[in-house]
A and B are shown apart, each in its own frame.
Chain A
Amino acid sequence: MRFTGPSGVRFKEVRVTDDAAAFNPSAADDHGALLEACARGERQALQQLYALEGSRLLGVVARIVGDRGIAEDIIHDAFVNIWNKAHTFDATRGSGKTWIFSVARHLALNHVRTRHREVTVDDETADRLDAERAQEAETDMQDHFDWLGHGDLDRCLAQLAPERRNCLFHAYVDGFSHPEIATRMDRPLGTVKAWIKRSLAALRECLS
């Protein structure tokens, strides 16, 4: 079986999987080309980006903001932003797909961080709560996310303890703040902050 791309280019036979990128080998590069077309004022290109990624972007944003209506507002703003700023996209600095996901994700993160003022407790209370939690907590060996098989970071993520991977993904996927992660993981806030900082450093080390 052969597939014909939008421009009539024929792709070699590929196995059909859930992964759209595998289905269409040029998908990753298409996003950059579509952004360049947006910068030239071609609305059809924006519509194609919307058709390609709209539901995935909405899934990512809805997970972070926790409200379908607000998530749609953010996707509206994200696509207007993508249209207005397409000329600033620089293909030499990253893929178009990464660019549009980061536009939408950061709008969602700015929304939840601005809307929910962080609850702070005084240092003494925080220390006491931390000490209690540290004593009670058992080691959580279970992964909360089915993370394997998605990206080049797999090899390095595998070197982290499951608990630490959970912290990273509760932040990246759920959009949780440090205190929210501490609550979800039932771990002291200071521990969670230190874990995340060290995990990021360990990932950089592993990649270098």
Chain B
Amino acid sequence: MSNHSASRSPLGPEETEDLAGEYVLGTLNAEQRRDVERRLLEDPQLQQAIGDWERRLQPYTAMVEPVAPSNRLWPRILRTLDSQEAAQSAPADDRAAHPAGLLSRLWHDLTLWRGLSFASILIATGLAAMLAFSPAQAPSSRYLVVLMTPQHTQAGWIVQASSPRQISLKPVGTFEVPPGKALEFWTKADDWSGPVSLGLVEPGETKQLSLDDLPPLEDNQLFELTLEDDTGSPLDRPTGPIQFIGRAVEL
């Protein structure tokens, strides 16, 4: 059958079972997984079939050796919950009147998108554009990047560009850099051979940058923050894990 025109057509019982099994097993590719996660919202049979496979297979996770989390992990979870709550309880007038309030509202609104598919992140980005570029802010801004955790569950920073050569990086959440480490800021356009370092970033501080030595900012350009040694990556590319990542949207 045609996979293109009928990609979102209703599934037969057999197809539902097959798709549910492969989804839970983990063999679907990124695109197929997103498709399942979208279908799931409106397909009770698929929900049921996935639930059945989760229940059957979950006991076999016991084959994996447990790994004790570091002592930092639980406090970090608590800090995230605290910042969510702080954003939720901020007085409404404040939020509307001050850019800082806008940012914390944006932060809160983005947290509502936690765990949803990549499609939702695009919606969240649209939302971000509305909030971050209200008249009280920078009216001439032309590009926006929301840098999220690699799992797209949490926004950490926003890049705003008032021109293709002038950008600012603003924190919207808290991030704790482990001792001896630093956050390094990178960018890469689609047709560049590799990422270019934009320098080290202090958590919680806004950073202004001119891209004088680089080609002008373009739509879909990639930005990321990686965790490196405190002197920065020893190579001309990232060596540490990605903490936050996002692509530029032209407004």
Interface residues of A (CB under 8 A from B): 19, 43, 46-47, 50, 54-56, 58-60, 62-64, 67-77, 79-81, 83-85, 93-95, 97-99, 101-103, 105, 107, 109-111, 113-115, 118, 145-147, 150-153, 168-169, 171-173, 175-178, 181, 196-197, 200-201, 203-204, 207
Contact = CB atoms under 8 A, between A and B. Distances in A.
A80 B154 contact: yes
In order of increasing CB-CB distance, the 3 nearest A-B pairs are A151-B59, A200-B21, A55-B66
Contact of B153 (A59, A60, A81, A169): A81
Contacts of B62: 19, 56, 150
A43 B21 CA distance: 34
Q: Dominant SS at the B interface?
A: helix
Given A59-B64, A59-B66, A102-B24, 7 more contacts: A80-B80, A94-B54, A94-B55, A111-B150, A115-B150, A151-B56, A169-B60
Contacts, number: 176
Interface string B7-34: 0000000000110011011111110010
Interface stretch (B70-78, B132-140, B159-167, B208-216): B70-78
B57 A76 contact: no
Interface residues of B, number: 52
B246 to A, nearest CB: 13
A50 B115 contact: no
Given A55-B69, A71-B67, A103-B115, A114 B30 contact: yes
Interface in B96-152: 111-112, 114-115, 118, 149-152
Contacts of B18: 197, 200-201
A206 to B, nearest CB: 11
A46 B74 CA distance: 10
